[in-house]
């Protein structure tokens, strides 16, 4: 995952984010509006294709659209170059 970017694992319903400092964290890929799976991480924003909700890629906070709540955090750990749910 490039620094300051993210990777959506739709099957696992998780978005993995690497901050500009290099830390990796996870948030749910399930939009808090109506349960669609988010579709992109660009320019620090996680976007949902269904109704236009947008979330801050660093915090999961809802920043635009009808989503009423942030994307919940998912605990992850990096071991040996691999990322695991913890």
C-alpha 78/C-alpha 62 separation (Å) is 26
Whether 4 shows a pLDDT value over 80: the answer reads no
pTM: 0.91
Tell which residue, 50, 67, 58, has the closest CA to residue 27.
58
19-74 per-position pLDDT tens digit: 888 899 999 999 999 999 999 999 999 999 999 999 999 899 999 999 999 999 99
Query: Residue 86: its pLDDT value, please?
Result: 87
Q: How do the residues of the chain divide into helix, strand and coil, expressed in percent and rounded to 5?
A: 5, 45, 50
- Sequence-distant (≥ 6) Cβ neighbours of residue 79 within 8 angstroms: none
Q: List beta partners, residue 35.
A: none
């Amino acid at each position: 995952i490039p620094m300051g970017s993210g990777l959506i694992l739709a099957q696992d319903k998780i978005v993995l984010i690497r901050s500009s400092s290099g830390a990796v964290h996870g948030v749910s890929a399930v939009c808090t509006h109506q349960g669609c799976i988010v579709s992109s991480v660009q320019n620090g924003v996680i976007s949902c294709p269904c109704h236009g909700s947008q979330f801050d890629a660093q915090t999961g906070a809802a920043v635009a659209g009808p989503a009423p709540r942030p994307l919940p955090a998912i605990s992850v750990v990096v071991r040996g170059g691999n990322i695991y749910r913890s």
